[in-house]
Amino acid sequence: MQANQIHPLLNHFCKELSVHLESLSKHQTTIDPSEFAELVAAATNEVLELYSSGEFDLNTYRQSTAEEYKELARQSIDSYSLTNDTIGEIAEKHAELLEESTTSGLIDFGKITEKFSDIQTHLSDEVSRANEVIHTLLEQVKTLETKTSLDPLTKVFNRYALQEHLKTVLEKESMDFEMFAFMIDVDDFKNINDRFGHIAGDKVLIFISKLLKKALRDGDRVYRFGGEEFIILLNRTDTEGAQLVAERLLTLCRNNKPLFQNQQIPVTLSIGLTKIIKGDSIDSIIERSDTAFYRAKNNGKDRFEMEF
């Protein structure tokens, strides 16, 4: 592995580990060393698996948000430079103070106290300003990470990518082909977390995302909508074809059980299916697929329903 490949892989590992830790922190305040070691191992395996399978494209990683991160880096350097210059000016004032205090051979306590108080105020103001800049830059980094197209845990597209894609589709005057949206939810996901633990829950989400991607064509897209919910945008098919895809996904999930600590975890899906039509908005598409999805839940789960 080349030296310039280490940084993105290390960064990716840190993101993997932080995702697992964040998920765990919602339910507990401490972690056992053996449990932490298991998290580290899981994050390492995820990164190595992505790298060996070719899913993690280092060139794409470096180029995808390079310019935006460069701009943030430039702002950080500029801010540091300004802070450094300001503190340098304060240091010069400090030196002048010391020089003034020894010119006559006597120390004017009133004057030196006033000067030190003035320097302390300047330093305090500059530290506060620097902290505000750092906070702003951190918020910009968070925003930038939100705008990247992949969900950090499952590696499918995220909600931001879904909104951007649908916005492009709906802005067209006419649709060149029929398009369908699936709202997919992992049945009884809370019970999985309660029974097997939240690390197992994360593993199930990763398993489902991989199953969905492998079952679909290259032109179809999988998005993590939130929590245990996924959305699929299916194109170039008809209603009958969309139904067949839904049935295939249900069967694949039903017949393939993820393993966690040598235990098989039974997983099923509930799917809400709708067709995207002219005049639709993002909200109307989500609302219809949501209605169908809840009908599938109420009718027994492990099934799909349609809403047109």
- Distances in Å between the alpha carbon of 49 and those of 54, 122, 151, 253? 9, 52, 16, 21
In whole angstroms, what is the distance from residue 49 CA to residue 116 CA? 58
Residue 219 contacts residue 236 (beta carbons within 8 Å): yes
Q: State the residue for tokens 């597209």.
A: 157
Which two structure tokens, joined as six digits, stand for 6?
Answer: 């280490």
Phi and psi at 231, nearest 5°, equal -125, 135
Catalytic residue among 22, 49, 178, 228: 228
- Specify whether 228 is catalytic: yes
Which two structure tokens, joined as six digits, stand for 91?
Answer: 């240091």
Residue 112 contacts residue 100 (beta carbons within 8 Å): no
Which two structure tokens, joined as six digits, stand for 83?
Answer: 């802070």
Residue 204 contacts residue 192 (beta carbons within 8 Å): yes
Q: Which residues contact 265 (CB under 8 A, 6 or more apart)?
A: 192, 196, 200, 203, 204, 257, 258, 259
Q: Which residues are catalytic?
A: 228
